[in-house]
Amino acid sequence: MSEIDRRRNVAFVGPHHAGKTTLVEALLAQCGAIPRRGSVADGSTVTDHEPEDVAHAQSTTVGFAHGTCDGLDITVVDTPGFVDFHSETHLALAGVDAAIVVLDADPARVAQTQGLIAAIEARRLPHCFVVNKLDRPGADFEATLAALQAHYGRHVVAEQWPIFARERASDKHSGFHGYVDLAEMRAHLFDDADERASEIPGDTRERAQHARADLLEAMADFDDHLMEELLEGVEPPLDEVERDLCSECAHDQIVPVLVAAGASGAGVSALVRAIERWFPSPADAPMLDAEGRPIAPDPDAPLVATVIKTSIHPQSGKLSVVRVIAGTIRTDTPLTDISQGGEKLRAGGLYRLQGRKHETIGEAGPGTIVAIARLEAVKSGDTLTSNGHKVLLPRVQLDEPSFAIAIKPKERIDEAKLFQMLARIVEEDPSLHLDRAEVTGELLLLGNGEQHVAIAVERLSRKYKVDVETAAPQIPYLETITAATEVHSRYKHQTGGHGQFGDVWLRFEPRDRGAGSSFGESIVGGVVPKQFIPAVEKGVREALAHGPNGFPVTDLHVTLFDGQYHDVDSSEQSFKTAAGMGVREALPKCRPVVLEPISRVAVTVPNAYTSTVIAQLTGKRGQILGMAPADEHGCDVVEADVPQVELARYITELRTATQGLGRYRARHERYDPVPGNRAVGPKTAV
């Protein structure tokens, strides 16, 4: 069997804290890639190696590792479960041939897999579920399986059935000590991370038999021969069942459900066998180009590789993790980044990653996941080819940012330098963005949630030794007038020598919302000489930058309609000053009101949460515009206009109310007057 046939690339995905990193650790130990399992709690795992992972005892980026088991070369991609970091997960899915969806043995958390399953299905990636942490008190395999089937259909079906020790009846699930393999109908009892075959215990037998019948029936939907056997009551031979299972799982028809307790290694050797038997090698399931044509994984073909992760080390520079789809990369292979206008590059070094360790390799063929050093302009999601070869791969769609903070340096370093360092952080993570706020001018860091941007700031401080102050972005309030007025303003000053004299009559009139501010003049007879009129306009505009409430004044027209001048004492400055004084005197008389920005939001949410979302938006002074089924199955889109100030932490509130499944887009829509008694001010506006 060739090298590529013995290769598997699998992503471990699943909800936050489901035990992915721990399970990966158990798999690596099982393969002998590490001498013993590390733990998330003490920061000693292979794949949670970034200081931020260790500090928070959770994965914040994708981690890569590999192990060899009976000649099977497995590359594992450990993805973060916390929804803030899902862009990492989505990018990494572009590099694997199969996914293992790990979840707690808790039916209430099954819904949290929805977004991931949608991404997996969109790529038609073969996958299985692992119901994990079955050693925990209260773990409920059956209810979790039922919830999986309720969500994803009956082709999600148990291939293993857990065995619990009877003597722990009072606390039955802490006695998870084996499983029945439903294809072979044999029990396997755990013996540390190993297993020994055994008889199926009497109290598990009946349930296991039912579960086996469900498995065979689900499989028979894709195999007429098996269907006939079942209808005729013939027991299908084991090799036929296993053959079907392999083929139907590899074609994403059947989604087997397995059992595990990763912390003790229970279920891991069966998981390795499942990876070997059910998941395709890169040769069995060629990746597709943007038009859905398979790209043959030929080592001698022109190179095609996709960048699935970027990390930047302040000293050693950039590392791009790529999935080689076709061709072979060597350190001297000339590369073209066809996503960046054909930029020509040369690999600075080629490595296989084992967590933080870089193992130097000479070349990497199709179906490998390897890291390339110092490809300066390359970004995650880019396609690399060997010189000149053109191919388009499907682009990974990332969510728009939904949370922002304002950032400024704490001391000494200037903003331009801070911007450069932030740009390096953003370069590592395409779901982070830097922006300059329009009205307030603040430097904004935007991301997929509060934790996402908080961890980015931690990373900035660790890598580049720069501390920043962060705050909620200021709301860009404006103000306007609701009544017209006229004022007469004279600035006269005599201090020996030349005096100063400017005299203007100004009219203030409200304009339509969104029309902005304008200035005009209707001077006749040169009572204000032409050369001073621009100074009057300047004085007006400068004064409009800070209205009576401290905000820029908009949606009004100011007319200079009369005035006086003095042959000697009048100057641009004196007219400008007179105009500014006039504005400050007039505005309070025009019934000024504060305007707040209103965003149009579109919230996508599973329809079980639609009414919750509507209530939440209404509670935020939102005006509900409508609701319609979303493109995604079982989801609704709720549209509403909501004051921007109410959206500051909305992504967190939305996720809390919807098991992390809700997401939204927001666009500035218009400005509305702030309702009567709400206090706002530049300082309180957060």
Using the rule CB under 6 A, is 179 a contact of ligand GTP?
no
Q: Give me the 312-341 binding string for Mg ion, x by CB under 5 A, dash otherwise.
A: ------------------------------
C-beta separation of 16 from 31 below 8 A: no
Instruction: State the burial class of residue 580 (Cβ atoms within 10 Å of its Cβ: 0-12, 13-18, 19+).
Output: buried
d(CA 182, CA 134): 18
CB of 76 to ligand GTP, least distance (A): 12
The length of the chain, given as a count of residues: 686
Using the rule CB under 6 A, is 41 a contact of ligand GTP?
yes
The residue within the footprint of ligand GTP, chosen from 8, 20, 37, 173 (CB under 6 A), is 20
CB of 44 to ligand GTP, least distance (A): 12
d(CA 587, CA 481): 7
d(CA 251, CA 127): 9
The residue within the footprint of ligand GTP, chosen from 50, 84, 135, 429 (CB under 6 A), is 135
Using the rule CB under 6 A, is 505 a contact of ligand GTP?
no
Which residues from 73-112 bind ligand GTP, rule CB under 6 A? 80-82
Place of tokens 């029936």: 217
CB of 473 to ligand GTP, least distance (A): 28
> Rounded to a whole number, what is the distance in angstroms from the first to the last CA of the chain?
63
CB of 64 to ligand GTP, least distance (A): 14
Return the structure tokens found at 124: 């038609």
Using the rule CB under 5 A, is 451 a contact of Mg ion?
no
Pick the piece of the chain touching ligand GTP (CB under 6 A) from 129-137, 295-303, 494-502, 562-570: 129-137
Using the rule CB under 5 A, is 500 a contact of Mg ion?
no
Using the rule CB under 5 A, is 306 a contact of Mg ion?
no
Return the structure tokens found at 605: 């949410």
18 makes contact, choosing from ligand GTP, Mg ion, none, with CB < 5 to 8 Å by partner type, with: ligand GTP
CB of 313 to ligand GTP, least distance (A): 22
The residue within the footprint of ligand GTP, chosen from 18, 46, 74, 445 (CB under 6 A), is 18
C-beta separation of 516 from 670 below 8 A: no
The residue within the footprint of ligand GTP, chosen from 19, 38, 365, 563 (CB under 6 A), is 19
Which residues from 618-647 bind Mg ion, rule CB under 5 A? none
Using the rule CB under 6 A, is 115 a contact of ligand GTP?
no
Contacts of 545 (CB under 8 A, 6+ apart): 552, 553
Three-state DSSP state, 180 = strand
Using the rule CB under 6 A, is 277 a contact of ligand GTP?
no
Q: Which of 614, 62, 651 is nearest to 323 (CA)?
A: 62
Smaller CB separation from ligand GTP, 25 or 442:
25
Using the rule CB under 6 A, is 49 a contact of ligand GTP?
no
d(CA 129, CA 108): 15
C-beta separation of 321 from 307 below 8 A: yes
Smaller CB separation from ligand GTP, 62 or 364:
62
Smaller CB separation from Mg ion, 76 or 287:
76
133 makes contact, choosing from ligand GTP, Mg ion, none, with CB < 5 to 8 Å by partner type, with: ligand GTP
The residue within the footprint of ligand GTP, chosen from 40, 272, 406, 666 (CB under 6 A), is 40
Smaller CB separation from ligand GTP, 46 or 418:
46
Q: Give me the 13-42 binding string for Mg ion, x by CB under 5 A, dash otherwise.
A: -------xx---------------------
Pick the piece of the chain touching ligand GTP (CB under 6 A) from 15-23, 224-232, 268-276, 387-395: 15-23
CB of 322 to Mg ion, least distance (A): 22
Count Cα atoms within 13 angstroms, Cβ side, for 352: 15
Phi-psi region of 547 (alpha: psi -120 to 50; beta: other; left: phi over 0): beta
41 makes contact, choosing from ligand GTP, Mg ion, none, with CB < 5 to 8 Å by partner type, with: ligand GTP
Counting DSSP H helices and E strands in the chain, the numbers are 15, 34
> Which H/E stretch holds residue 611?
helix 610-619
Using the rule CB under 6 A, is 17 a contact of ligand GTP?
yes
Q: Which of 482, 432, 478 is nearest to 456 (CA)?
A: 432
Smaller CB separation from Mg ion, 11 or 218:
11
Using the rule CB under 6 A, is 144 a contact of ligand GTP?
no
Pick the piece of the chain touching ligand GTP (CB under 6 A) from 2-10, 132-140, 492-500, 546-554: 132-140
d(CA 647, CA 621): 10
Q: Which of 296, 292, 306 is nearest to 335 (CA)?
A: 306
In 502-531, which positions are buried (b, 16+ CB within 10 angstroms) versus exposed (e)? Answer: bbbbbbbebeeeeeebebebebeeeebeee
The residue within the footprint of ligand GTP, chosen from 4, 8, 21, 107 (CB under 6 A), is 21
d(CA 53, CA 214): 40
CB of 19 to ligand GTP, least distance (A): 3
Q: Which of 638, 648, 646 is nearest to 620 (CA)?
A: 646
Smaller CB separation from ligand GTP, 84 or 248:
84
Q: Which of 154, 112, 148 is nearest to 129 (CA)?
A: 148
Using the rule CB under 6 A, is 263 a contact of ligand GTP?
yes
CB of 171 to ligand GTP, least distance (A): 13
d(CA 532, CA 406): 40
d(CA 99, CA 85): 17
Three-state DSSP state, 592 = strand
Using the rule CB under 6 A, is 22 a contact of ligand GTP?
yes
Return the structure tokens found at 632: 């995604």
Using the rule CB under 5 A, is 59 a contact of Mg ion?
yes
Residue nearest to ligand GTP as judged by C-beta position = 81
Smaller CB separation from Mg ion, 19 or 67:
19
Pick the piece of the chain touching Mg ion (CB under 5 A) from 54-62, 135-143, 156-164, 547-555: 54-62
Smaller CB separation from Mg ion, 47 or 281:
47
599 makes contact, choosing from Mg ion, ligand GTP, none, with CB < 5 to 8 Å by partner type, with: none
C-beta separation of 372 from 320 below 8 A: yes
CA dihedral 573, 577, 583, 586 (to 10 degrees): -140
d(CA 484, CA 499): 33
C-beta separation of 458 from 55 below 8 A: yes
Smaller CB separation from ligand GTP, 162 or 297:
162
The residue within the footprint of ligand GTP, chosen from 261, 350, 396, 586 (CB under 6 A), is 261
Using the rule CB under 6 A, is 132 a contact of ligand GTP?
yes
Q: At what angle do helices 202-220 and 238-250 cross, to 10 degrees?
A: 60
Using the rule CB under 6 A, is 181 a contact of ligand GTP?
no
Smaller CB separation from Mg ion, 59 or 570:
59
> Contact residues for ligand GTP (CB under 6 A)?
14, 16-22, 40-41, 58-59, 80-82, 132-133, 135-136, 261-263
